[in-house]
A and B are shown apart, each in its own frame.
Chain A
Amino acid sequence: MAASSLPREQVLHLARLARLKLDDEEVERLGAQLAAIVGYMDVLAGVARAEPDDEQESTSPRWLRDDESGASLPREAALSESERHVTQGFVVPGPKGSRR
């Protein structure tokens, strides 16, 4: 792929996935820049896929620690740096369509 720019719809789709609000200038600039970078990364396509050492090692139980409770951040410390919070937690706007 050697497109000069990713399509606008694709840039906006990625922005939605990444939870990023972009202005029009950013959409245009990122479209061009990402196309160039992704085009460079297409060199990875030439790497052969079937080699024995490609298999990912399975997760062995010996690598996992015991599931035990331990010390954790005190509630007050966890809340202290948020812009809006109450005792019970962080205050955020409601989800789409909910009443504020």
Chain B
Amino acid sequence: MSVDAESLTSLPLWEVARRVAAGDLRAEAVAVAFLARVREADSTIRAFVHCDPDAVVACARDIDERRARGTPLGPLAGVPVAVKDNLCTTDAPTTCASHALVRDGQGWRAPYDAAVVERLRAADAVIIGKTNLDAFAMGSSTENSDLFSTKNPWDTTRVPGGSSGGSAAAVAAGMAAGALGSDTGGSIRQPASFTNTVGIKPTYGRVSRFGLVAFASSLDQVGPIASDVRGAARVLFAIAGHDPRDATSVQAPLPDLEAACDRGVRGVRIGIPDEYFGEGLDDRVRELVDRAVDVLAGAGCSLVRVSLPHTELAVAAYYVLATAEASSNLARFDGIRFGSSVRPPDADVDEMVAATRGAAFGAEVKRRVMLGTHVLSAGYYDAYYLQAQRVRRRLAADFEEAFGSVDVVATPTAPSPPWKLGEKLADPLAMYLADVYTLPASLAGLPALSVPCGWTNDGLPVGLQLIGRRWQEDLLCRVASGWERLRDATGSPPKLYESSHG
């Protein structure tokens, strides 16, 4: 690959957009460079489920032709963006990385684009491909994909996190300038933490879920992954906004997120919750996050100890509520209207459906559907589902109380750096417990992001999570972007994937 192409794929998203808009770069050249990176790296990393190079180049060429005609272009013109494969696209299959949506080797074709895909297209982004995930977004490592596992670009013996592991890996390895993921209990933030990228879970209701294959409808949100906060902010701004097709999408004013990136951190009150720095936090993560908040304090933030006392109940509450909703949402995968089906001879419709679902769903999906069925069933609903709803409300109240005295809450994104492939597969509960820091913000519907905060001595990335009040993604971007500048100024510039991998 030429030096120019190498440089292109290491540019932040907003710089790609700036150069295309200025005419310094042709969109086609950008697309060709990123596709070359996909060819070079993806046979190892396996981030992509689907990539059609001819379609990508054709899309980019169209942007160049429109620019030449003087047609105004969108804010993401020419930017290669990967899309998690649980988002519907009309021009590429959508599989959710599950056998349930693959029939005769072909992925399901959605009859409509997801709202966020429509908005990416309207912004003239170039959708470079669909990315791998834990099947139906159920998992924290992308190892639950029915198709293949994705590797962490920084250490290919380790997981990229999940469930948006493909999207995060694509951005980390320079195969996409930005990506869309979905986050139900941490599935954008944790893979961002594991891959040295920035990931944002918006306030619940900020981004339309129309065309996102539902996992847990009261928790799911689509959000961006990018190499820096400004890039993630640009994508979020493009995809956010009310959509009448999503009854849970809210008409909330959207602040200028990129402008917020330049406001500096002085005067921000940062809450440090006791419950996120206790037992179970890896010392390597603790050291890096402690250092990060100390640097922020030195730059004019005030640190305030807060308590979020119901945190210890979050994992239990989440895995009751999310699996309950999943058991309902996945009832539609019965082989009748779409997807794969198994039709045993002489089977009646119930036998056909059970055989289809038994064959189509992987182990983790089956486990969660069964768990959700259990907690909703007669005799267990009060003890589990209702109790979990009570806990959810109290978690939200914990944050509300904390935000009476602070502006953002800072925590580690994950209790550990990325683990080895296969390490946690034998113990599902251990995998669930790894979500402990990301689940509470999901349950409370609050915006949260992960920004890289450093590297362990053994070369693994660690993320800093910032949680904000509802609708205050701008404040999160402001603090995270300020942290990026402070981090880079302390002599710890971000490693570029190319420099690590020759």
Q: Which of chain A's residues has its CB closest to B428's CB? A: A33
Decide if B1 is an interface residue (CB 8 Å cutoff). Answer: no
Candidates B339, B346, B348, B432; contact of A37 at CB < 8 Å: B432
A10 to B349, CA, bound (A): 23
* Total number of residue pairs linking A and B with CB closer than 8 Å: 140
Which residues of B sit under 8 angstroms from A65, Cβ to Cβ?
Answer: 244, 247
Which residues of B sit under 8 angstroms from A90, Cβ to Cβ?
Answer: 336-337
Interface locus among B164-172, B366-374, B480-488: B366-374
Q: Which of chain A's residues has its CB closest to B352's CB? A: A93
Main secondary structure of the interface of B (DSSP, over half): helix
Which residues of A sit under 8 angstroms from B353, Cβ to Cβ?
Answer: 19
Q: Is the CB of B367 within 8 A of A21?
A: no
Q: Is the CB of B346 within 8 A of A47?
A: no
Q: Is the CB of B390 within 8 A of A49?
A: yes
Instruction: Report the contact-size class of chain B (Cβ under 8 Å from the partner).
Output: 35 or more
Which residues of B sit under 8 angstroms from A77, Cβ to Cβ?
Answer: 111
**A18-B327, A77-B111, A82-B338 known; A94-B348 Cβ under 8 A:** yes
Which residues of B sit under 8 angstroms from A43, Cβ to Cβ?
Answer: 312-313, 316
Q: Is the CB of B111 within 8 A of A92?
A: no
A95 to B350, CA, bound (A): 7
Decide if A62 is an interface residue (CB 8 Å cutoff). Answer: no
Which residues of A sit under 8 angstroms from B338, Cβ to Cβ?
Answer: 81-82
Tell me the residues in window 354-384 of chain B with beta carbons closer than 8 Å to chain A beta carbons.
Answer: 354-355, 357-359, 361, 363, 366-367, 369-371, 373-375, 377, 383-384
Decide if B260 is an interface residue (CB 8 Å cutoff). Answer: no
Decide if B265 is an interface residue (CB 8 Å cutoff). Answer: no
Q: Is the CB of B313 within 8 A of A47?
A: yes
Tell me the residues in window 1-53 of chain A with beta carbons closer than 8 Å to chain B beta carbons.
Answer: 11, 14-23, 26, 30, 33-34, 36-38, 40-41, 43-45, 47, 49, 51, 53
* Nearest CB of A to B196, in Å: 31
* Nearest CB of A to B225, in Å: 29
Q: Is the CB of B387 within 8 A of A21?
A: no
Decide if B429 is an interface residue (CB 8 Å cutoff). Answer: yes
A90 to B390, CA, bound (A): 41
Candidates A23, A26, A54, A73; contact of B393 at CB < 8 Å: A54
Which residues of B sit under 8 angstroms from A37, Cβ to Cβ?
Answer: 319, 367, 371, 428-429, 432
Q: Is the CB of A19 within 8 A of B334?
A: yes
Q: Which of chain B's residues has its CB closest to A98's CB? A: B348
Decide if B304 is an interface residue (CB 8 Å cutoff). Answer: no
Decide if A83 is an interface residue (CB 8 Å cutoff). Answer: yes
Which residues of B sit under 8 angstroms from A44, Cβ to Cβ?
Answer: 313, 316-317, 320, 383-384, 387-388, 391
Beta-carbon contacts of A70-82 to B below 8 Å, as 1s and 0s? 0001000110111
Tell me the residues in window 204-260 of chain B with beta carbons closer than 8 Å to chain A beta carbons.
Answer: 244, 247
Decide if B103 is an interface residue (CB 8 Å cutoff). Answer: yes
Which residues of A approach B to under 8 Å, CB–CB?
Answer: 11, 14-23, 26, 30, 33-34, 36-38, 40-41, 43-45, 47, 49, 51, 53-54, 56, 65, 73, 77-78, 80-83, 90, 92-98, 100
Q: A21-B354, A41-B319, A78-B111 given. 7 additional CB < 8 A pairs?
A: A21-B358, A37-B367, A41-B320, A44-B317, A53-B393, A92-B352, A94-B349
